[in-house]
Amino acid sequence: MYVTIKLLIVVLIFVLRYVRSNNLRIDPLVDSNAGLIKGLRASDGDYSMFLGIPYAKVNESNPFGVSIPQEKFDKVYEAYNDSLMLCPHSSEMGIVGNINCLYLNVYVPNSASSQNRLPVMIWVHGGAFMTGSGKKSAFGPKFLVKQNIILVTINYRLGPYGFMCLDIPEVPGNQGMKDQLLALRWVKNNIEAFGGDVNKITLFGESAGAISVDLHLLSVHDNLFNKVIMQSGTALAATVLETPDKMAPIKIAEFLGFKTESVLEALNFLTLTDSTLIIAASTNLNMIFKPCVETEFSNVEPFILKPWINENTRKVRGMPILLGFNNKERWFEYATKQSEYFDNLNVIHDKLVQTFAFNESKLTEMENIIHHFYMGDSKMSIELRDKIGDFDSDYTYIHPIQRSIRQYIENVPENIFYYMFSYSGKRNYNKVTLNVTEEGAFHADEIGYLFDLSFLPEDNPEDLVIVEQMTTMWANFAKYSDPTPATSELLPVKWTPLTKDKWYYLNIDSKLAMGSRPLNERMAFWDLFYETNKKEQKGYEENL
């Protein structure tokens, strides 16, 4: 009898058609190591959706600490809804989310089965470690699953709940990264039941999501994935380096009316405080929470224990890597600003202070050198908006990516596929949001060509070609470790991996084109700058 039931479950795993008699729909049911999970048949493609699967629980007695793996379901879990997949954060809709937010979505093409295992792509969302979600409404799957891959999108805690680093066992730091780690372990342990290939798992993300991918490569843990894609970010991005505020709980508690000099007393107070108030307080206090280097404690599983500025990325040995940037990354910061904004703009000074430990005189000297390189002798003004955007793009994302590439090359990955996304269309996420029409691609603009976002139109044939090209190349990488295993009418250009001496890259625009050393003059300037000042970088350590 047991064998018969087991066989029936297996037969039903991916039944994705209507039973015509009585118009009855049979939803997909999966028998996983986590238990029985029932999903939904998608209405916009030939795939199933398993929405809002819990992979971990936040510890109610310490919501700022490490989460707890989800226990096995004792009955069928109905994965029909991902509305709880929203961790507390401040958004354009106000403060949203709840602390019980550790869920993931799994999207499975009809073709997946135990006889036809498909590659798996795990998406880590961006948002500066302060905002964002892996919900279907944020990252619709229909474009990618059409390419015969299984897509998993994950959630992780943000802001003070995910990245408070206090150097104490209760809150050692990187709780959000450890959430991601639990999600990766869940996928590794359960994805075979969905028809996934555990030997073809690609971890990919954008901005803070890409930085997260790189941090997993730098962590103390074994890889739970086989390939990586990093879009507009690595661990060397200037946005990551923040000195943890170890008094953060005391400051937040005081803002909310509870005064104490004890971090633990403040944490106890905040544990009983509504998450909306905590996010509001930390926002009002302009607090920033990021990944950090942890102190090691007994009986506490760490994530990162050493500074990563010049760390050896040994885990990339033999691993295929795809990464790149958008050609006008940080222009969005200045595109809609009025002239008075630029009158007192100190962006070069502020960026240098963020990542270098210069004394005051050297800081001024370096600031002047950079200003002259990008803007000559002209004062900051709205007329120099494009030059300011170029500086910010280069400093924050583009050159850090190139420095990371050098670290990877030293550790002999299988291949590195490098790109620059330059396309400007109606699905450029950030430009559409800002209602900006100039040419080029801002930060996050490529997302609309990988994911279905409801507010982006699908009526432009040229945009849909880019969608097809991007999703095909990304899926090819997941399948074959090569985004263009063969050229075709859709992909007429062979994407050549870079080498130590030849930094080939693919320019993704209306026409695909190979080039060498993108933005070469600007990058050469920063090569010299960092070589001259490398030991004054915050977090730099000799002889690692």
Catalytic annotation, residues? 207, 329
Determine the 3-state secondary structure of 429 from DSSP. Answer: helix
DSSP-derived letter for residue 326 is E
Helix H or strand E segment including 32: strand 29-32
Whether the CB-CB separation of 163 and 290 falls below 8 Å is answered with: yes
**Hey, which residues does 41 pair with through a beta bridge?**
48
Q: β-pairing, 47-54 with 40-41?
A: antiparallel
Q: HEC states along 351-410? A: HHHHHECCCHHHHHHHHHHHHHHHHCCCCCCHHHHHHHHHHHHHHHHHHHHHHHHHHHHH
Judged on CB neighbours under 10 Å (0-12, 13-18, 19+), 362 is: middle
Torsion sign over Cα 280, 286, 289, 295: negative
How many helices (H) and strands (E) the chain has is answered by 16, 20
Q: d(Cα 232, Cα 488) in Å, to the nearest integer? A: 27
DSSP secondary structure, 171-188, as one string:
B-S-HHHHHHHHHHHHHH
**Hey, which residues does 166 pair with through a beta bridge?**
none
Pick left, alpha or beta for residue 136 (phi over 0 → left; psi -120 to 50 → alpha; otherwise beta).
Answer: alpha
Output the CA–CA distances (angstroms, integers) from residue 149 to 19, 77, 120, 212, 345, in the order listed.
Answer: 26, 23, 6, 22, 46
Whether the CB-CB separation of 407 and 416 falls below 8 Å is answered with: no
Judged on CB neighbours under 10 Å (0-12, 13-18, 19+), 257 is: exposed
Q: β-pairing, 68-69 with 77-78?
A: unpaired
DSSP-derived letter for residue 524 is H
